[in-house]
Amino acid sequence: MPQQSSKSFEEVVIVGAGLMGAGIAQVIAQAGPKVIVVDRAEEDLARAKKQIVKSVGRLHGEDQVDPILSTIRFTTRMEDGKTAQLAIEAVPEKMAIKQDVFRQLDRFLDKEALLASNTSSLSIAEISSVTSRPEKVVGMHFFSPVPMMKLVEVVQGINSATETVEKIKEFGEYIGKEIIVAKDFPGFTVNRALVPLLNEAAFLVMEGNDPESIDRGLMLGANHPIGPLRLADALGIDVLLFTIESLYDGFNDSKYRPCPLLKRMVEAGHLGKKTGKGFYDYA
């Protein structure tokens, strides 16, 4: 990466201290820039810090925890990130919540700062519409777990300037990620191809097929490293349902019709590994 690009993002603010926000903060801090993590709740910030400590220790050794943690600041005040040259939003996948964050970022950050959303499916054009700088807004979709997964999907909205996309691509490479560029349509590239596969696997279960057989079939017959139903459980059945519904609504195409079994599972609280039960039992 050109040296000037790394200098242009000497400070990055991450809004959202959940699993994704903490992971994003970690990989950026490891690369050198200062990081400000913002969330409304002190307990969420404390949980994010604990997650980073555990992850850094496991991946890089205990001696690296303090040096990396020393470059990260945790705060409940959005304005504490006002000197950042880049903001990455990583809050829940609700348009109203994301737009509220972007309004605040647009107000607090310098007008030359770039704004990115970690959304996995929502419209970058719609997110950027509440700002005074839509040409400086892009998607920067990381994958979970962020420290382990190499890919970042850079999403170019209809108003995103080519210069903005190029700067974000360079920054993604600087922090050690592989980059693909996607256009701003529901699901972008990865989820557009992947989520219908997981949805179809759920239909197979609903029709009476054994989850283990489905997963083994895809692993052995298509050389997938993990079966679609194990992957669905790891992602979260609620997240899967939300994403396939977004594709269905966004394209108005019956090929994205959500599997009714996913809806019943969410209603029953069977959300996958995080609740102990999904297509498999983790109790």
Residue type, position 258, single letter: P
d(CA 92, CA 98): 8
d(CA 11, CA 177): 18
Q: Would the pLDDT of 2 be above 60? A: no
pTM of the prediction?
Answer: 0.91
Written as six digits, the tokens of 156 are 């170019």
Angle at 192 (CA atoms; ends 16, 197), nearest 5 degrees: 110
**What single-letter DSSP state applies at residue 226?**
S
C-alpha distances out from residue 280 to 13, 212, 215, 236, 271, Å: 37, 9, 11, 12, 10
Preceding amide of 33 cis, omega within 30: no
d(CA 34, CA 83): 11
Structure-derived torsion over alpha carbons of residues 175, 105, 189, 178, reported in degrees to the nearest 10: 0
Interval 225-276: pLDDT, tens:
999 999 999 999 999 999 999 999 999 999 999 999 999 999 999 999 999 9
Q: Would the pLDDT of 162 be above 90? A: yes
Q: Would the pLDDT of 101 be above 50? A: yes
Interval 38-57: pLDDT, tens:
999 999 999 999 999 999 99
- Strands 11-15 and 86-89, by their bridges, are parallel
The catalytic site residues sit at: 120, 141, 153, 191
Written as six digits, the tokens of 169 are 């691509």
Q: Would the pLDDT of 7 be above 60? A: no
Burial of 191 (0-12, 13-18, 19+ CB in 10 A): buried
Written as six digits, the tokens of 182 are 């996607």
Q: Would the pLDDT of 8 be above 80? A: no
Residue type, position 153, single letter: E
Interval 190-216: pLDDT, tens:
999 999 999 999 999 999 999 999 999
Q: Which residue has the tokens 């770039």?
A: 114
Residue type, position 134, single letter: P
- Strands 151-156 and 137-142, by their bridges, are antiparallel
Q: Note whether 79 and 108 are within 8 A (CB).
A: yes
pLDDT at 283: 86
pLDDT at 231: 97
Q: Would the pLDDT of 5 be above 60? A: no
